[in-house]
Structure 1
Amino acid sequence: MNAERTERTGHPTGADDGAAGAPPRTAVVTGAGSGIGRSVAVELLRSGWSVALAGRRAETLEETAGLVPDAVESGRALCVRTDVARPDDVEGLFAAVRDEFGRLDLLFNNAGTFGPGGVPVEELPYDAWRHVVDTNLNGAFLCAQAAFRQMKEQEPQGGRIINNGSISAHVPRPHSVAYTATKHALTGLTKSLSLDGRPYRIAVGQIDIGNAATDMTERMQSGILQANGELAVEPVMDVADVARTVRHMAELPLGANVQFATVLATAMPYVGRG
Protein backbone atom coordinates (compact mmCIF):
# COMPACT_ATOMS: atom_id res chain seq x y z
CA MET A 1 0.00 0.00 0.00
CA ASN A 2 1.23 3.50 -0.83
CA ALA A 3 -0.86 5.34 1.72
CA GLU A 4 1.33 6.46 4.57
CA ARG A 5 -0.04 7.34 7.97
CA THR A 6 1.59 10.49 9.22
CA GLU A 7 -0.23 10.69 12.53
CA ARG A 8 -2.06 7.97 14.45
CA THR A 9 -3.71 9.00 17.67
CA GLY A 10 -6.34 7.74 20.07
CA HIS A 11 -8.73 4.80 19.94
CA PRO A 12 -11.72 3.78 17.80
CA THR A 13 -14.99 5.55 18.38
CA GLY A 14 -18.07 3.56 19.31
CA ALA A 15 -19.80 1.78 16.45
CA ASP A 16 -23.17 3.12 17.60
CA ASP A 17 -22.29 6.69 16.55
CA GLY A 18 -24.13 6.21 13.23
CA ALA A 19 -27.24 4.59 14.72
CA ALA A 20 -30.69 5.98 14.02
CA GLY A 21 -31.35 9.04 16.15
CA ALA A 22 -27.67 9.66 16.87
CA PRO A 23 -25.50 12.11 14.91
CA PRO A 24 -22.77 10.57 12.72
CA ARG A 25 -19.33 11.23 14.05
CA THR A 26 -16.61 9.70 11.83
CA ALA A 27 -15.56 11.29 8.54
CA VAL A 28 -13.01 11.15 5.75
CA VAL A 29 -12.14 14.50 4.14
CA THR A 30 -10.00 14.36 1.01
CA GLY A 31 -7.95 17.36 -0.05
CA ALA A 32 -7.82 18.29 3.64
CA GLY A 33 -4.47 20.05 3.50
CA SER A 34 -5.76 23.36 2.15
CA GLY A 35 -8.73 25.39 0.98
CA ILE A 36 -12.23 24.00 1.27
CA GLY A 37 -11.02 20.63 2.53
CA ARG A 38 -9.09 22.24 5.37
CA SER A 39 -12.04 24.42 6.35
CA VAL A 40 -14.47 21.48 6.35
CA ALA A 41 -12.10 19.26 8.32
CA VAL A 42 -11.64 21.96 10.95
CA GLU A 43 -15.39 22.58 11.17
CA LEU A 44 -16.07 18.89 11.72
CA LEU A 45 -13.27 18.47 14.25
CA ARG A 46 -14.44 21.49 16.22
CA SER A 47 -17.95 20.02 16.22
CA GLY A 48 -16.83 16.77 17.81
CA TRP A 49 -16.34 14.56 14.77
CA SER A 50 -13.45 12.14 14.38
CA VAL A 51 -11.85 12.96 11.03
CA ALA A 52 -9.37 11.22 8.76
CA LEU A 53 -7.59 13.97 6.85
CA ALA A 54 -6.37 12.80 3.44
CA GLY A 55 -4.09 14.61 1.01
CA ARG A 56 -0.83 14.31 -0.89
CA ARG A 57 1.34 16.35 1.48
CA ALA A 58 1.83 15.12 5.03
CA GLU A 59 2.97 18.49 6.35
CA THR A 60 -0.16 20.37 5.26
CA LEU A 61 -2.41 17.67 6.73
CA GLU A 62 -0.64 18.03 10.05
CA GLU A 63 -1.05 21.81 9.85
CA THR A 64 -4.80 21.35 9.37
CA ALA A 65 -5.08 18.97 12.33
CA GLY A 66 -3.00 21.36 14.43
CA LEU A 67 -5.67 24.04 14.05
CA VAL A 68 -7.80 21.96 16.45
CA PRO A 69 -5.30 20.90 19.16
CA ASP A 70 -7.85 19.16 21.36
CA ALA A 71 -8.83 16.91 18.45
CA VAL A 72 -5.22 15.81 18.08
CA GLU A 73 -4.87 15.27 21.81
CA SER A 74 -8.10 13.28 22.06
CA GLY A 75 -7.32 11.09 19.07
CA ARG A 76 -10.04 12.42 16.79
CA ALA A 77 -7.62 13.56 14.05
CA LEU A 78 -5.91 11.04 11.80
CA CYS A 79 -3.67 12.22 8.96
CA VAL A 80 -3.15 9.83 6.06
CA ARG A 81 -1.00 10.82 3.09
CA THR A 82 -3.08 9.85 0.07
CA ASP A 83 -3.07 10.41 -3.67
CA VAL A 84 -6.72 9.74 -4.51
CA ALA A 85 -5.81 8.86 -8.11
CA ARG A 86 -3.87 5.82 -6.87
CA PRO A 87 -6.05 2.80 -5.98
CA ASP A 88 -3.52 1.46 -3.45
CA ASP A 89 -3.45 4.79 -1.64
CA VAL A 90 -7.24 4.89 -1.42
CA GLU A 91 -7.34 1.32 -0.13
CA GLY A 92 -4.79 2.26 2.52
CA LEU A 93 -6.75 5.33 3.55
CA PHE A 94 -9.96 3.45 4.23
CA ALA A 95 -8.13 0.58 5.92
CA ALA A 96 -6.61 3.16 8.28
CA VAL A 97 -10.07 4.54 9.04
CA ARG A 98 -11.40 1.07 9.84
CA ASP A 99 -8.44 0.34 12.09
CA GLU A 100 -8.55 3.67 13.91
CA PHE A 101 -12.23 4.54 14.18
CA GLY A 102 -14.08 1.29 13.52
CA ARG A 103 -16.68 2.77 11.15
CA LEU A 104 -17.28 5.51 8.58
CA ASP A 105 -20.24 7.88 8.66
CA LEU A 106 -19.20 10.51 6.11
CA LEU A 107 -16.99 10.89 3.07
CA PHE A 108 -16.46 14.45 1.86
CA ASN A 109 -15.13 13.80 -1.64
CA ASN A 110 -13.26 17.06 -2.07
CA ALA A 111 -9.82 16.47 -3.61
CA GLY A 112 -9.46 18.20 -6.95
CA THR A 113 -7.32 20.29 -9.26
CA PHE A 114 -8.13 22.96 -11.83
CA GLY A 115 -5.23 22.08 -14.09
CA PRO A 116 -3.33 24.60 -16.21
CA GLY A 117 -5.29 27.84 -16.37
CA GLY A 118 -5.83 29.93 -19.47
CA VAL A 119 -4.93 27.17 -21.95
CA PRO A 120 -7.19 26.95 -25.02
CA VAL A 121 -8.64 23.52 -25.68
CA GLU A 122 -6.58 23.04 -28.84
CA GLU A 123 -3.36 23.61 -26.87
CA LEU A 124 -4.13 21.56 -23.75
CA PRO A 125 -1.60 18.72 -23.39
CA TYR A 126 -3.13 15.28 -23.01
CA ASP A 127 -1.09 14.68 -19.85
CA ALA A 128 -2.68 17.75 -18.28
CA TRP A 129 -6.17 16.58 -19.27
CA ARG A 130 -5.44 13.12 -17.85
CA HIS A 131 -4.14 14.52 -14.55
CA VAL A 132 -7.34 16.53 -13.99
CA VAL A 133 -9.55 13.55 -14.89
CA ASP A 134 -7.55 11.18 -12.68
CA THR A 135 -7.78 13.49 -9.69
CA ASN A 136 -11.25 15.01 -9.98
CA LEU A 137 -13.23 12.09 -11.39
CA ASN A 138 -11.32 8.85 -10.99
CA GLY A 139 -10.22 9.83 -7.49
CA ALA A 140 -13.78 10.67 -6.49
CA PHE A 141 -14.97 7.32 -7.83
CA LEU A 142 -12.26 5.34 -6.03
CA CYS A 143 -13.02 7.02 -2.70
CA ALA A 144 -16.78 6.62 -3.14
CA GLN A 145 -16.35 2.96 -4.04
CA ALA A 146 -14.25 2.32 -0.92
CA ALA A 147 -16.73 4.23 1.24
CA PHE A 148 -19.64 2.25 -0.25
CA ARG A 149 -17.97 -1.04 0.63
CA GLN A 150 -17.34 0.00 4.20
CA MET A 151 -20.74 1.63 4.77
CA LYS A 152 -22.54 -1.39 3.31
CA GLU A 153 -20.69 -3.88 5.51
CA GLN A 154 -20.58 -2.00 8.81
CA GLU A 155 -23.12 -2.26 11.62
CA PRO A 156 -25.24 -0.17 11.83
CA GLN A 157 -25.28 -0.11 8.03
CA GLY A 158 -25.12 3.12 6.06
CA GLY A 159 -23.50 6.53 5.91
CA ARG A 160 -23.27 9.64 3.76
CA ILE A 161 -21.15 10.80 0.83
CA ILE A 162 -20.95 14.47 -0.16
CA ASN A 163 -19.22 15.21 -3.46
CA ASN A 164 -17.67 18.61 -4.04
CA GLY A 165 -18.98 19.72 -7.39
CA SER A 166 -18.65 23.34 -8.46
CA ILE A 167 -20.46 26.11 -10.27
CA SER A 168 -18.49 24.54 -13.13
CA ALA A 169 -20.82 21.55 -12.81
CA HIS A 170 -23.43 23.94 -14.26
CA VAL A 171 -21.58 26.42 -16.49
CA PRO A 172 -17.96 26.65 -17.70
CA ARG A 173 -15.37 29.36 -17.48
CA PRO A 174 -13.28 30.10 -20.57
CA HIS A 175 -10.37 27.71 -21.12
CA SER A 176 -11.45 25.20 -18.46
CA VAL A 177 -12.41 22.16 -20.52
CA ALA A 178 -10.84 19.50 -18.27
CA TYR A 179 -12.09 20.95 -15.00
CA THR A 180 -15.58 21.62 -16.37
CA ALA A 181 -15.88 18.16 -17.93
CA THR A 182 -14.94 16.44 -14.68
CA LYS A 183 -17.30 18.57 -12.60
CA HIS A 184 -20.19 17.81 -14.95
CA ALA A 185 -19.25 14.13 -14.64
CA LEU A 186 -19.35 14.40 -10.85
CA THR A 187 -23.02 15.30 -11.08
CA GLY A 188 -23.68 12.04 -12.90
CA LEU A 189 -21.58 10.18 -10.34
CA THR A 190 -23.59 11.74 -7.52
CA LYS A 191 -26.92 10.76 -9.06
CA SER A 192 -25.83 7.21 -9.75
CA LEU A 193 -24.34 6.72 -6.28
CA SER A 194 -27.45 8.19 -4.72
CA LEU A 195 -29.63 5.63 -6.50
CA ASP A 196 -27.34 2.69 -5.81
CA GLY A 197 -26.98 3.63 -2.15
CA ARG A 198 -30.69 3.51 -1.33
CA PRO A 199 -30.86 -0.17 -0.31
CA TYR A 200 -27.95 0.27 2.11
CA ARG A 201 -28.91 3.53 3.89
CA ILE A 202 -26.15 5.37 2.01
CA ALA A 203 -27.20 8.96 1.29
CA VAL A 204 -25.28 10.78 -1.43
CA GLY A 205 -25.41 14.49 -2.24
CA GLN A 206 -23.37 17.21 -3.90
CA ILE A 207 -22.37 20.72 -2.97
CA ASP A 208 -21.65 23.15 -5.82
CA ILE A 209 -19.44 26.00 -4.63
CA GLY A 210 -18.82 29.36 -6.27
CA ASN A 211 -15.95 31.68 -5.33
CA ALA A 212 -15.08 30.56 -1.82
CA ALA A 213 -12.03 32.53 -0.64
CA THR A 214 -9.11 30.10 -0.92
CA ASP A 215 -5.70 30.08 -2.58
CA MET A 216 -7.39 28.79 -5.74
CA THR A 217 -9.63 31.86 -5.98
CA GLU A 218 -7.05 34.58 -5.23
CA ARG A 219 -7.06 35.50 -8.92
CA MET A 220 -10.75 36.42 -8.67
CA GLN A 221 -9.78 39.53 -6.74
CA SER A 222 -7.25 40.73 -9.32
CA GLY A 223 -9.36 40.03 -12.40
CA ILE A 224 -10.38 36.84 -14.17
CA LEU A 225 -11.32 36.17 -17.78
CA GLN A 226 -15.05 36.41 -18.51
CA ALA A 227 -17.08 34.83 -21.32
CA ASN A 228 -17.07 38.14 -23.24
CA GLY A 229 -13.27 38.22 -23.26
CA GLU A 230 -12.93 40.93 -20.62
CA LEU A 231 -11.16 40.69 -17.28
CA ALA A 232 -13.30 41.38 -14.22
CA VAL A 233 -12.84 41.27 -10.47
CA GLU A 234 -15.30 38.83 -8.89
CA PRO A 235 -16.59 38.78 -5.31
CA VAL A 236 -15.68 35.90 -3.01
CA MET A 237 -17.28 34.51 0.14
CA ASP A 238 -15.87 33.22 3.41
CA VAL A 239 -14.88 29.56 3.04
CA ALA A 240 -16.24 28.99 6.55
CA ASP A 241 -19.74 29.45 5.13
CA VAL A 242 -19.09 26.47 2.86
CA ALA A 243 -17.84 24.39 5.78
CA ARG A 244 -20.96 25.11 7.82
CA THR A 245 -23.13 24.07 4.89
CA VAL A 246 -21.26 20.79 4.52
CA ARG A 247 -21.67 20.11 8.24
CA HIS A 248 -25.41 20.79 8.00
CA MET A 249 -25.69 18.30 5.12
CA ALA A 250 -23.56 15.79 7.00
CA GLU A 251 -25.53 15.91 10.24
CA LEU A 252 -28.96 15.25 8.77
CA PRO A 253 -30.46 11.87 9.70
CA LEU A 254 -29.96 9.30 6.95
CA GLY A 255 -33.66 9.44 6.17
CA ALA A 256 -33.12 12.97 4.79
CA ASN A 257 -30.70 14.14 2.13
CA VAL A 258 -29.62 17.38 0.48
CA GLN A 259 -29.30 16.02 -3.04
CA PHE A 260 -27.78 19.20 -4.48
CA ALA A 261 -26.82 22.45 -2.78
CA THR A 262 -25.37 25.55 -4.44
CA VAL A 263 -23.41 27.94 -2.21
CA LEU A 264 -21.86 30.96 -3.88
CA ALA A 265 -20.74 34.52 -3.40
CA THR A 266 -24.00 36.41 -3.77
CA ALA A 267 -22.91 38.81 -6.51
CA MET A 268 -20.67 36.55 -8.57
CA PRO A 269 -21.50 36.49 -12.30
CA TYR A 270 -23.51 33.27 -12.46
CA VAL A 271 -27.23 34.00 -12.29
CA GLY A 272 -28.50 36.14 -15.16
CA ARG A 273 -26.09 37.84 -17.51
CA GLY A 274 -23.34 38.62 -15.02
Structure 2
Amino acid sequence: MSRYSRSICIILFQSLFMLLQAQPNRYGVPIISNYEHYVTGGSEQNWCITQDFRGIMYIGNNDKGVLEYDGVEWRTIPLPNNPYVRSLVTGDDGIVYVGADGEFGYLAPDGRGDLQYRTLSDTIRNEEPGFRIGEIWKTYYVKDRVYFCSPPMIYVYEPDERELKMIETPDHAFLSYFIDNELYVGDYSSGLMRLEADSFVVVTGGDNFSEMNISGLVRFDTGRLLVATYYQGIFLLDLVTGEVNRSFVDPDLNEYLKNGVITYLHPLDRDFAVATYYSG
Protein backbone atom coordinates (compact mmCIF):
# COMPACT_ATOMS: atom_id res chain seq x y z
CA MET A 1 0.00 0.00 0.00
CA SER A 2 1.37 3.41 -0.96
CA ARG A 3 2.00 6.20 1.53
CA TYR A 4 -0.86 8.12 -0.11
CA SER A 5 -3.29 5.21 0.37
CA ARG A 6 -2.28 4.82 4.01
CA SER A 7 -2.92 8.53 4.59
CA ILE A 8 -6.40 8.24 3.08
CA CYS A 9 -7.19 5.23 5.32
CA ILE A 10 -6.04 7.07 8.43
CA ILE A 11 -8.10 10.15 7.56
CA LEU A 12 -11.19 8.05 6.86
CA PHE A 13 -10.77 6.16 10.15
CA GLN A 14 -10.39 9.38 12.12
CA SER A 15 -13.43 10.90 10.41
CA LEU A 16 -15.51 7.79 11.15
CA PHE A 17 -14.40 7.86 14.81
CA MET A 18 -15.35 11.53 15.16
CA LEU A 19 -18.71 10.86 13.48
CA LEU A 20 -19.47 8.02 15.89
CA GLN A 21 -18.49 10.17 18.84
CA ALA A 22 -20.98 12.81 17.71
CA GLN A 23 -23.92 10.41 17.45
CA PRO A 24 -26.87 11.30 19.69
CA ASN A 25 -27.72 9.02 22.61
CA ARG A 26 -30.55 7.00 21.08
CA TYR A 27 -31.58 5.49 24.43
CA GLY A 28 -32.07 8.81 26.19
CA VAL A 29 -29.63 8.04 28.99
CA PRO A 30 -28.53 11.42 30.40
CA ILE A 31 -24.91 12.46 30.36
CA ILE A 32 -23.67 12.30 33.94
CA SER A 33 -20.77 14.25 35.38
CA ASN A 34 -19.33 13.19 38.71
CA TYR A 35 -17.69 15.77 40.97
CA GLU A 36 -15.37 14.56 43.69
CA HIS A 37 -15.51 16.21 47.09
CA TYR A 38 -12.14 17.87 46.58
CA VAL A 39 -13.67 19.63 43.56
CA THR A 40 -16.89 20.73 45.25
CA GLY A 41 -15.21 21.84 48.46
CA GLY A 42 -17.50 19.65 50.55
CA SER A 43 -17.02 16.38 52.37
CA GLU A 44 -17.80 12.96 50.86
CA GLN A 45 -21.49 12.76 51.81
CA ASN A 46 -24.43 14.87 50.63
CA TRP A 47 -28.03 14.67 51.85
CA CYS A 48 -30.24 16.83 49.65
CA ILE A 49 -30.39 19.06 46.59
CA THR A 50 -32.48 21.89 45.14
CA GLN A 51 -32.31 24.33 42.24
CA ASP A 52 -33.33 27.98 42.32
CA PHE A 53 -35.13 29.94 39.62
CA ARG A 54 -31.81 30.98 38.06
CA GLY A 55 -30.78 27.36 37.55
CA ILE A 56 -28.14 27.40 40.28
CA MET A 57 -27.82 24.16 42.24
CA TYR A 58 -27.58 23.86 46.03
CA ILE A 59 -26.46 20.69 47.78
CA GLY A 60 -26.75 19.95 51.49
CA ASN A 61 -23.41 18.60 52.66
CA ASN A 62 -22.45 16.47 55.64
CA ASP A 63 -20.29 19.04 57.41
CA LYS A 64 -19.47 21.85 54.98
CA GLY A 65 -22.82 23.62 54.90
CA VAL A 66 -24.54 24.25 51.56
CA LEU A 67 -22.60 23.77 48.33
CA GLU A 68 -23.50 26.19 45.54
CA TYR A 69 -22.83 25.34 41.88
CA ASP A 70 -23.54 27.67 38.97
CA GLY A 71 -22.40 25.26 36.26
CA VAL A 72 -18.83 26.53 36.32
CA GLU A 73 -17.69 27.15 39.88
CA TRP A 74 -18.37 25.65 43.29
CA ARG A 75 -18.79 27.72 46.43
CA THR A 76 -19.46 26.73 50.04
CA ILE A 77 -22.01 28.51 52.22
CA PRO A 78 -21.21 27.64 55.85
CA LEU A 79 -23.70 27.13 58.68
CA PRO A 80 -22.99 27.68 62.39
CA ASN A 81 -21.20 24.68 63.96
CA ASN A 82 -21.09 22.81 60.62
CA PRO A 83 -24.20 20.63 61.09
CA TYR A 84 -25.48 17.98 58.69
CA VAL A 85 -27.66 19.78 56.13
CA ARG A 86 -30.58 17.34 55.82
CA SER A 87 -33.08 19.21 53.64
CA LEU A 88 -33.36 22.05 51.14
CA VAL A 89 -36.28 23.57 49.26
CA THR A 90 -36.69 26.50 46.88
CA GLY A 91 -39.84 28.40 47.76
CA ASP A 92 -42.24 30.07 45.37
CA ASP A 93 -40.68 33.30 46.61
CA GLY A 94 -37.36 32.22 45.07
CA ILE A 95 -35.65 31.81 48.43
CA VAL A 96 -33.72 28.66 49.30
CA TYR A 97 -34.69 27.35 52.75
CA VAL A 98 -32.33 25.15 54.73
CA GLY A 99 -32.98 22.43 57.32
CA ALA A 100 -30.06 20.98 59.27
CA ASP A 101 -29.20 19.15 62.48
CA GLY A 102 -30.30 21.56 65.21
CA GLU A 103 -30.56 24.46 62.80
CA PHE A 104 -32.86 25.94 60.16
CA GLY A 105 -33.03 29.14 58.13
CA TYR A 106 -32.60 30.43 54.60
CA LEU A 107 -30.10 31.86 52.11
CA ALA A 108 -29.98 35.60 51.48
CA PRO A 109 -27.52 37.85 49.59
CA ASP A 110 -24.93 39.92 51.39
CA GLY A 111 -23.73 43.36 50.32
CA ARG A 112 -21.80 41.88 47.40
CA GLY A 113 -24.69 39.73 46.22
CA ASP A 114 -23.21 36.44 47.49
CA LEU A 115 -25.70 34.20 49.25
CA GLN A 116 -25.11 33.63 52.96
CA TYR A 117 -26.97 31.59 55.53
CA ARG A 118 -29.45 33.40 57.80
CA THR A 119 -30.72 31.54 60.85
CA LEU A 120 -34.34 31.36 61.96
CA SER A 121 -33.87 28.82 64.73
CA ASP A 122 -31.95 31.32 66.87
CA THR A 123 -35.30 33.00 67.50
CA ILE A 124 -36.40 29.94 69.46
CA ARG A 125 -33.10 29.47 71.25
CA ASN A 126 -33.09 33.09 72.35
CA GLU A 127 -36.60 32.74 73.79
CA GLU A 128 -36.07 29.26 75.27
CA PRO A 129 -32.42 28.70 76.21
CA GLY A 130 -31.46 25.04 76.09
CA PHE A 131 -34.28 24.11 73.72
CA ARG A 132 -33.20 21.37 71.30
CA ILE A 133 -34.28 22.04 67.72
CA GLY A 134 -33.84 18.47 66.47
CA GLU A 135 -32.85 17.28 63.02
CA ILE A 136 -34.78 18.94 60.20
CA TRP A 137 -35.13 15.94 57.90
CA LYS A 138 -37.73 17.53 55.61
CA THR A 139 -38.39 21.12 54.53
CA TYR A 140 -41.46 22.10 52.50
CA TYR A 141 -42.82 25.31 51.00
CA VAL A 142 -46.62 25.13 50.82
CA LYS A 143 -49.08 28.00 50.39
CA ASP A 144 -46.62 30.74 51.34
CA ARG A 145 -45.48 28.89 54.44
CA VAL A 146 -42.27 27.00 55.13
CA TYR A 147 -42.45 23.79 57.15
CA PHE A 148 -39.21 22.74 58.82
CA CYS A 149 -39.96 19.19 59.97
CA SER A 150 -38.06 17.39 62.72
CA PRO A 151 -39.24 14.23 64.52
CA PRO A 152 -40.35 16.01 67.73
CA MET A 153 -41.53 19.31 66.24
CA ILE A 154 -42.79 21.03 63.09
CA TYR A 155 -41.62 24.64 62.76
CA VAL A 156 -43.91 26.73 60.56
CA TYR A 157 -42.51 29.97 59.19
CA GLU A 158 -44.51 32.65 57.38
CA PRO A 159 -42.02 34.79 55.42
CA ASP A 160 -44.42 37.65 54.71
CA GLU A 161 -45.30 38.08 58.37
CA ARG A 162 -41.90 36.91 59.65
CA GLU A 163 -43.75 34.73 62.14
CA LEU A 164 -42.60 31.38 63.44
CA LYS A 165 -44.72 28.87 65.33
CA MET A 166 -44.18 25.33 66.58
CA ILE A 167 -46.43 22.28 66.27
CA GLU A 168 -45.58 19.31 68.46
CA THR A 169 -45.62 15.91 66.76
CA PRO A 170 -46.66 12.58 68.33
CA ASP A 171 -44.17 10.94 70.68
CA HIS A 172 -42.84 8.40 68.18
CA ALA A 173 -43.06 10.36 64.93
CA PHE A 174 -40.18 10.41 62.49
CA LEU A 175 -40.49 11.46 58.83
CA SER A 176 -43.12 13.83 57.44
CA TYR A 177 -44.78 14.08 54.02
CA PHE A 178 -46.92 16.62 52.18
CA ILE A 179 -49.63 15.11 49.97
CA ASP A 180 -52.11 17.44 48.24
CA ASN A 181 -51.19 20.25 50.64
CA GLU A 182 -51.82 18.09 53.70
CA LEU A 183 -49.09 17.17 56.15
CA TYR A 184 -48.69 13.54 57.24
CA VAL A 185 -46.29 11.90 59.68
CA GLY A 186 -45.50 8.29 60.36
CA ASP A 187 -45.69 7.47 64.07
CA TYR A 188 -44.32 4.13 65.24
CA SER A 189 -46.97 3.74 67.95
CA SER A 190 -50.07 5.10 66.21
CA GLY A 191 -49.35 4.61 62.50
CA LEU A 192 -50.03 7.12 59.74
CA MET A 193 -51.28 10.48 61.01
CA ARG A 194 -52.39 13.76 59.42
CA LEU A 195 -52.23 17.33 60.68
CA GLU A 196 -55.67 18.78 61.39
CA ALA A 197 -55.70 22.29 62.83
CA ASP A 198 -52.62 22.19 65.06
CA SER A 199 -52.64 18.53 66.10
CA PHE A 200 -52.11 15.15 64.47
CA VAL A 201 -54.84 12.51 64.18
CA VAL A 202 -54.72 8.95 62.84
CA VAL A 203 -56.12 8.74 59.30
CA THR A 204 -58.70 6.12 58.38
CA GLY A 205 -56.79 2.85 58.21
CA GLY A 206 -53.63 4.51 59.47
CA ASP A 207 -53.46 2.27 62.54
CA ASN A 208 -52.50 -0.60 60.22
CA PHE A 209 -49.04 0.98 60.10
CA SER A 210 -48.39 1.03 63.83
CA GLU A 211 -45.06 -0.56 64.74
CA MET A 212 -43.83 0.16 61.22
CA ASN A 213 -41.32 2.78 60.11
CA ILE A 214 -42.92 4.65 57.22
CA SER A 215 -40.17 5.66 54.79
CA GLY A 216 -42.19 6.93 51.81
CA LEU A 217 -45.64 8.31 51.06
CA VAL A 218 -47.08 9.42 47.69
CA ARG A 219 -50.53 9.78 46.17
CA PHE A 220 -51.46 6.78 44.02
CA ASP A 221 -54.80 8.10 42.76
CA THR A 222 -57.84 9.91 44.15
CA GLY A 223 -58.33 8.82 47.75
CA ARG A 224 -55.49 6.30 47.83
CA LEU A 225 -51.91 6.55 49.06
CA LEU A 226 -48.90 4.42 48.34
CA VAL A 227 -47.14 3.73 51.65
CA ALA A 228 -43.56 2.47 51.82
CA THR A 229 -42.01 1.07 54.99
CA TYR A 230 -38.43 0.25 55.83
CA TYR A 231 -38.87 -3.47 56.48
CA GLN A 232 -42.46 -4.49 55.59
CA GLY A 233 -42.57 -3.43 51.94
CA ILE A 234 -45.10 -1.27 50.07
CA PHE A 235 -48.86 -1.01 50.69
CA LEU A 236 -51.84 0.70 49.09
CA LEU A 237 -54.06 2.58 51.56
CA ASP A 238 -57.63 3.68 50.80
CA LEU A 239 -58.20 6.82 52.88
CA VAL A 240 -61.99 6.52 52.56
CA THR A 241 -62.54 2.90 53.59
CA GLY A 242 -59.31 2.36 55.51
CA GLU A 243 -58.62 -0.78 53.47
CA VAL A 244 -54.96 -1.72 53.09
CA ASN A 245 -53.95 -3.74 50.04
CA ARG A 246 -50.97 -5.81 51.14
CA SER A 247 -50.64 -7.72 47.87
CA PHE A 248 -50.56 -4.65 45.66
CA VAL A 249 -46.93 -5.28 44.72
CA ASP A 250 -45.73 -8.59 43.29
CA PRO A 251 -44.70 -10.74 46.29
CA ASP A 252 -41.23 -11.49 44.93
CA LEU A 253 -40.60 -7.82 44.21
CA ASN A 254 -41.91 -6.79 47.61
CA GLU A 255 -39.63 -9.33 49.29
CA TYR A 256 -36.70 -7.94 47.33
CA LEU A 257 -37.57 -4.40 48.42
CA LYS A 258 -38.03 -5.42 52.04
CA ASN A 259 -34.64 -7.11 52.11
CA GLY A 260 -33.10 -4.00 50.60
CA VAL A 261 -34.69 -1.71 53.26
CA ILE A 262 -36.83 0.92 51.51
CA THR A 263 -35.60 4.45 52.15
CA TYR A 264 -37.45 6.60 49.61
CA LEU A 265 -40.48 6.63 47.32
CA HIS A 266 -40.95 9.10 44.48
CA PRO A 267 -43.67 9.48 41.82
CA LEU A 268 -42.70 9.58 38.14
CA ASP A 269 -44.97 10.26 35.15
CA ARG A 270 -46.75 6.90 35.25
CA ASP A 271 -44.54 4.91 37.59
CA PHE A 272 -42.89 5.17 40.98
CA ALA A 273 -39.21 5.14 41.85
CA VAL A 274 -38.19 3.19 44.95
CA ALA A 275 -34.81 3.61 46.62
CA THR A 276 -33.40 1.03 49.01
CA TYR A 277 -30.47 1.03 51.37
CA TYR A 278 -28.89 -2.20 50.12
CA SER A 279 -30.38 -2.93 46.68
CA GLY A 280 -30.19 0.38 44.86
Q: TM-score, normalised by structure 2?
A: 0.28
Name whichever structure is richer in helix by fraction.
1
Instruction: State the structure with more CA Rg.
Output: 2
| TM-score (ref. length: structure 1) | 0.28
The structure that is strand-richer by fraction is 2
Higher relative contact order (CA 8 A, sep 6+): 1
